Chain A
């Protein structure tokens, strides 16, 4: 009887440890940081982990670059706030959802051999990588979002109307609150240069 009770307690203790470890699963690591970037209020330093559920805040004048668990790179521009909602990668697939409250991200998505969903949501819509890999930008502002694609294909879907457009390499588009995405157009190199500068290259 005592042995059974001890066994149950041991199992419960083990489960508690396991669930704690699962809740704190690392999604990526900070590889570059400038300024006073924070993760749920904690100051971020190089080598610090970014975990699922964390909200990263990059104030004006700062920059942050993350290397994610699947090898993808995320550069967060100054004056940006991003939450790692989901970042799961295993033998059955990759499932990523980032939430960009405001600011600019450069996302370099690596190809994987498993089925993949890689999305960045904003208040007005969700951008989803539709190619194996991609190098792209997303900007979230009050009432609008912009997406520009350097390589790969990214779909942008309106939260309100559910209409979407596909954006190929060298193209970009814009989405405003409650409306359909604007039909994509070729972005000028000056437009790409502007977001590359913001995200630190």
Chain B
């Protein structure tokens, strides 16, 4: 029988775009105005169907990854995020990795194309 796992995570972010558009005019270079520094934490831990052997080594079965990184967006149809993946328990593994994600907004870059609009638009769409 497979072990039941609890998986959870938390993300702490500080949005410079929000700061400079909703809070205060902070003097900083244009590049920094699009930055959102962040730290994300993911963990999994077994909670049931655990054998005696697994109980004794439960700590070793808990994975915890801390991922500090940054996301960049200037509201121009794309957003780039990059994070380091730092394992913090033996079960998580060893060695630091890097993960990156590029999000391209077709609804921004090509709003009137078939890919930029809902495939099944509502009758009330403008």
Bound CA–CA A186/B126 (angstroms)? 11
By the criterion CB–CB under 8 Å, are A165 and B107 in contact? Answer: no
**Interface extent on A, as a size class?**
20 to 34
Nearest residue (CB) in B for A162 is B30
By the criterion CB–CB under 8 Å, are A180 and B125 in contact? Answer: no
Tell me the minimal C-beta distance from A135 to chain B in angstroms: 10
Chain A residue numbers with a CB within 8 Å of B33 are 163, 180
By the criterion CB–CB under 8 Å, are A189 and B126 in contact? Answer: yes
From the candidates B21, B111, B117, name the one contacting A180 in the complex (CB within 8 A). B21
Nearest residue (CB) in A for B24 is A179
Q: Tell me the residues in window 8-50 of chain A with beta carbons closer than 8 Å to chain B beta carbons.
A: none
By the criterion CB–CB under 8 Å, are A170 and B75 in contact? Answer: no
- Flag whether B80 is at the interface (Cβ < 8 A): no
Tell me the minimal C-beta distance from A151 to chain B in angstroms: 8
With A183-B73, A183-B75, A192-B126: A168-B108 Cβ-Cβ less than 8 Å = yes
Chain A residue numbers with a CB within 8 Å of B53 are none
Q: Tell me the residues in window 138-179 of chain A with beta carbons closer than 8 Å to chain B beta carbons.
A: 150-151, 160-161, 163, 165-166, 168-171, 173, 175-176, 178-179
- Flag whether B51 is at the interface (Cβ < 8 A): no
With A166-B76, A189-B122, A192-B126: A182-B111 Cβ-Cβ less than 8 Å = no
Tell me the minimal C-beta distance from B18 to chain A in angstroms: 8
- Flag whether A59 is at the interface (Cβ < 8 A): no
Bound CA–CA A192/B25 (angstroms)? 29
Nearest residue (CB) in B for A184 is B75
Bound CA–CA A180/B74 (angstroms)? 11
Bound CA–CA A176/B24 (angstroms)? 10
Interface residues of A (CB under 8 A from B): 150-151, 160-161, 163, 165-166, 168-171, 173, 175-176, 178-184, 186-187, 189, 192-193
